[in-house]
Amino acid sequence: MHDDRRLVENRLGRVLAERITPAIYPESLPLKVSIWVAPDEPVPVAEGLAAPRTPIESGARWGAPWATSWLTVEATVPAAWAGKTVEAIIDLGFDQNMTGFQCEGLVYRPDGSPVKGLHPRNQWVRVASSAVGGEHVVLHVEAASNPIIPFFSPTALGDKSTAGDEPQYRLGRLDLAVFDEEVWLLVQDLEVLGELMHEMPEEPARRYDIVRAIERALDAVDLANVNHTAAAARACLADVLAKPAAASAHTISAVGHAHIDSAWLWPLRETVRKVARTTANMTALLADEPEFIYAMSQAAQYDFIKRHRPEVYERVKKAVSEGRFVPTGGMWVESDTNMPGSEAMARQFVHGKRFFLEEFGVENQEAWLPDTFGFAAGLPQIIKAAGSKWLLTQKISWSQLNQFPHHTFLWEGIDGTRIFTHFPPVDTYNCSMHGREIAHAARNFKDKGRASMSLAPTGWGDGGGGTTREMVAKAARMKNLEGSPKVVWDCPADFFAKAEAEYQNPPVWVGELYLELHRATLTSQAKTKQGNRRSEHLLREAELWAATAAVRKNCQYPYTALDRIWKTVLLHQFHDILPGSSIAWVHREAKQIYAAVAEELTAIIERAQWVLGGERVGPNVFNPAPHTWRSVPAGAAAVVQPGHPCSVAERAGGGFVLDNSLLRVEVDARGLVVSVFDLERQRETLPPGSAANLLQLHPDYPNAWDAWDVELFYRNRVTDLTEADFVAVDTDSPASAVVRVGRSFGSSKVEQTLALRAGARGLDIETGVEWYETEKFLKLAFPLDIHADRYACETQFGHLFRPTHINTSWEYAKFEACNHRFVHFAEPGWGVALVNDSTYGHDVTRTVRADGGTTTTLRVSLLRAPRFPDPETDHGAHYFRHSLVPGASIGDAVCAGYRVNLTPLRPGVAEAVEPLFTIDNDAVVTSAVKLADDGSGDVVLRVYEAHGGRASALVAAGFGVAGFQVCDLLERPLPGDAPAIAEGTGVRLRLRPFQLVTLRFARSPESDAE
């Protein structure tokens, strides 16, 4: 037989596009359209509905960037259409290739009730399934003219204040039309079979069966009268559509989905409306499609519509109660997981799960993070401690160099906790049910022979409107179709339960899930990262001192304020806000919000301290850190003991020598540190002939994704900033030995203070930068005379080790990595730590010197200057604090990291304050002291083992205790063997390495405040 497959395939493409698809709407008439433009920000629905309109027509330009327009469309149904299905077609000027990144609309009835969203792939509104002739149809559209942000190009469109007021869009088709369902069904039949045909090998008979069936169907279609011949064409396809899939066919659990970034190329206020449009769409689709299931994560987004679109929220609540609109993920937002601190990562689950429990009675077992830029090694324990046990993501498929070896596996964290994890092999979180995607999922699945199922998040994301009726129709045809994987609608929990039951002994991946892409998100938008870090530590202090004041002085605990502030901070940990990959508007607002958070938390702290310590006169200083500081116990206020005296002397050859009897530091005439000598251990920290505190400037022009990426070739060119404008002694610091250094380069300036403080074992480095560079990367380098094949980086509730070498491609790919408060290097018996107050990105390299010694160089990433999506990223003033701590153990690094982030130098108070808890082992570190969230007055203590070893510790409460419980993160009692037992008047803890424990103490009546 002659091979004419290509002839049939090409024929199908043209006939489908030019004849059959247009026949879905065989009759139409234009809608009458009028418009009102809101003067500034979006207005309440009632105001938008009532505002006066002016006429506008299809083809007219509309929509300044970030503006809101209210359109009214109306028409009268012709008598000839009686009994037919009628829809409004409303094209706001969509570009179908930019789904989720442009104008959108939400349709309302005249009474203000929402109908559905309008999006590039979803432009229809059902008016009637059986129309009444002569009926007048009126619909209102709240249309958002969000600009299309051009990828990888500097643009002023990313902030309302710079975007201008030129109209962005032209109204497209605005019609009332008859919907021919039979033609629409034919389109779905042909698309599914045509896409399947293209994905099949050429040899099997099944492909030829499909070719001939399509040929017969196309022959049956009268191109001049598609509507009357569609049924006959469908009949030609019935047999091939009815043939069942092979028993061994891969099964895909489709989950309705609309990944909505809580902010990215739009501000937070627009996300509120994106969520409303999408959820209106999805509740409408659920009503029409009985097998469809939709899942939405991010409790914050449910809260958005609860507060701002209650009429949509009521529809969501009803659908949730029916079990088909599924809250998933159990987090406040789909956060970054690399940079949030221990307690913040825990609170993502606390607030997310509690919202779903209180609002819907739903408890998630799965964490849902499809788009997060890599996963910290401490996350499995946090997921388990929150009462969950599964994780989904697909982002690791974006890695540039190494292909991850599994799709379903156990992920083991730093403490040994294992989480059943799935990476959807469809390799997208916006699956459209296209045959190419479905076939790819089955081919790509790496666990064949051991597992037979995978998950596909299905729907257009961001502002795309979610799952479409076309996707549902395609899934129905692939439910049991020969040559195709089987597609079924599932909720995430059901998929995970089946997958876990099937795969009894999955492989194990130990340690972080590092994304070999988007490494620069550890540095971009420094002020956002600093605001987050500062907020996390202020929240720790606010809870600690407010709880202490409540127990000691019966001071009212600020439950409501702390709950609100936590949710604000957690929202800004979203994976395009904290990583610095959003437009300028988002980061401008974040800066303002962090300032307000700091002001409110400082007021809470100061009020509690005033209640506890009396007037701000006296010798007692509060210590918020989890370790004793200069004789002040953790969580207490006491007198600070003086440290060793400090001195500054001139250095031979220029520069200065700083000494505090613990360290001797030499700063040369260039302002570079050329010696850091540990006097106690008689050990030099720096390699011979090297200089630390060296600022280095690189060109930084990645291949794409400017704010997200840094490419390894940036290292090929570097400028050492060794020229100093001045190097001078600061004589205003009697308790410290301080040298000030000034430099200038390009359009920027740096001023540093290098300080040895009384009693301190670290060299404190404070770096102020006036930064006005473009496409540059600023690093701060510390060469170390240490031979180590690995180093430690703090992560949530512990630390992980990374190699200093690049033996394999996996190590080679980790050329920029994340740390929290410290990085630590060690040889047996001696180590060195670098701690910070707000930086995350760093790199480590090693060389062997001519003398045979090893130089291990740590470089901290300070600032970048990408131009997309914010063309002025990080321009302005910045301030960083670091401390180099020679002779440091891991425990010393933990203490120093807290010290630099929790500065205890508040004005002294008259009264000493006893801590609520004392712990007799520094390896057991306090993460939180607070009152229980339920308002019971119980005191909650969260601790973790921080050194990476076994630890026994006695926890003593400084108040009367009626009993205690070991709890999960939501402060609910845990069953089974506990790591804590009563011992005398305290609690004995026996912890595994990095084990996290939450203790809840009931207060006895005699513990009532004074």
- What are the residue numbers of the active site? 371
Residue showing tokens 């404190």: 764
Distance (Å, whole) CA 343 – CA 361: 25
> Does residue 746 contact residue 772 with C-beta atoms inside 8 Å?
yes
Distance (Å, whole) CA 141 – CA 72: 6
Side-chain half-sphere exposure of 447, counting CA atoms within 13 A: 26
> Does residue 264 contact residue 274 with C-beta atoms inside 8 Å?
no
- What are phi and psi for residue 473, nearest 5 degrees? -65, -40
Distance (Å, whole) CA 259 – CA 392: 13
Identify the DSSP state of 49.
H
Query: Mapped to the 3 state alphabet, what secondary structure does 927-949 carry?
Result: EEEEECCCCCCCEEEEEEECCCC
Distance (Å, whole) CA 585 – CA 66: 11
Residue showing tokens 């290098």: 754
- Residue 885: both structure tokens together: 């701590």
- Residue 404: both structure tokens together: 């991850």
State CA 86 to chain mean position distance.
Answer: 42
Query: For residue 437, what are the contacts with CB-CB under 8 A and spacing of at least 6?
Result: 426, 428, 431, 456
- Residue 12: both structure tokens together: 């199908």
Residue showing tokens 């502030």: 565
The distance in angstroms from the start CA to the end CA of the chain is 98
The partner residues of 817 in beta bridges, in order of sequence, read 842
Distance (Å, whole) CA 710 – CA 716: 13
Side-chain half-sphere exposure of 791, counting CA atoms within 13 A: 29
The partner residues of 61 in beta bridges, in order of sequence, read 170
Distance (Å, whole) CA 218 – CA 228: 14
The partner residues of 876 in beta bridges, in order of sequence, read 771
Q: What is the number of residues in the chain?
A: 1010
> Does residue 350 contact residue 372 with C-beta atoms inside 8 Å?
no
> Does residue 567 contact residue 559 with C-beta atoms inside 8 Å?
no
Q: Taking the CB of residue 222, how many other CB atoms lie within 10 A of it?
A: 14
Query: For residue 719, what are the contacts with CB-CB under 8 A and spacing of at least 6?
Result: 696, 697, 698, 745
Q: Is the backbone peptide bond immediately before 907 cis, with ω within 30 degrees of 0? A: no
